[in-house]
Amino acid sequence: MTFLAIIIVVFAFAGMIKGMIGLGLPAVSMGLLTIAMSPFQAASLLIVPSMVTNIWQLFAEGRVWAFIRRFWTLLVGIVVGSIWSFLPTLSQSHGHSSEILLGCMLALYGLYGLCVKKLPHLAQHERWLSPIVGYIGGAVTVGTGVVIIPVVPYLQSLHLKRDELVQALGLTFTVSTFCLAFFLHHNPMEGITLDYRLSAVALVAALLGMWLGKKIRYQLNEQRFRRLFFIGLMALGLYMIAH
């Protein structure tokens, strides 16, 4: 019951943050869950909530095929990186390397969110950058359970419109989640089984959290809350590295 309560509280909190500022569900849930369990087990719980919310985000605006045609090299890179990763994966070294790597990614993401005000315009280099960024993103996915660095900053550097950016993130997150699910299924860790019933409970908690977050979104100063979110994310990452 304690284990179940941790899952419900963490995903409800992560969903609430996503409902308020539109991001943070995988990063927050992975960061908090790995305090109480291995990164491999935390990633297995993330599959269903992440898959459902990302697919909804992808298809909400339509024009999916246009995004696939534009970013297909990025997506192929993610798949290749998840199969032939140059980083330690979630199933190696009992998760110690993955926990450090996840801490580094969270800290970098927090620092990036706090410090970067204006990104360079990289659209003219998209043809050759996309497969490289995708490959690194795929390796990070099977190494940490989340795809953050460098995919999110890269897509933002293309200066897409807000709705286009949301849909592009939904597309890359959906593909990376499928890759993560495939990796976890074919690289089981001894003593840990993938429990999709618990993952379904996590989904319900995340959706309730998102509903609550949307309710209170307009009662807060969004910029101030985003700043606090990135500070908290950086602190959580540094704690995981030190721990």
What residues have CB less than 8 Å from 68, skipping those under 6 apart? Answer: 75, 171
What are the structure tokens assigned to 235, written together?
């602190």
The residue written with tokens 């569900």 in the block is 25
- Is residue 64 pLDDT above 70, yes or no? yes
Q: What is the chain's mean pLDDT, rounded?
A: 85
Look-up of token digits 């993560």: 180
Render pLDDT for 144-188 as a digit per residue (tens, 0 to 9).
888 888 998 899 899 888 778 888 888 998 999 999 999 988 887
DSSP 28-82: HHHHHHTTTS-HHHHHHHHHHHHHHHHHHHHHSS--HHHHHHHHHHHHHHHHHHH
User: Which helix (H) or strand (E) segment is 224 a member of?
Assistant: helix 222-242
Give the whole-angstrom CA distance, residue 106 versus residue 235. 9
Residues 6+ apart with CB under 8 A from 211: 19
116 or 175, greater pLDDT: 175
Average pLDDT over residues 2-31: 86
CA distance 15 to 24: 8
Residue with the bigger pLDDT between 191 and 120: it is 120
Mean pLDDT of all residues in 2-27 = 85
The stretches of 116-161 forming alpha helices (DSSP H) are: 126-144, 151-157
- Under the banding of pLDDT at 50, 70 and 90, the label for residue 41 is confident
| Token duo for residue 228 | 């606090």
Residue 194, burial from CB neighbour count under 10 angstroms (0-12, 13-18, 19+): middle
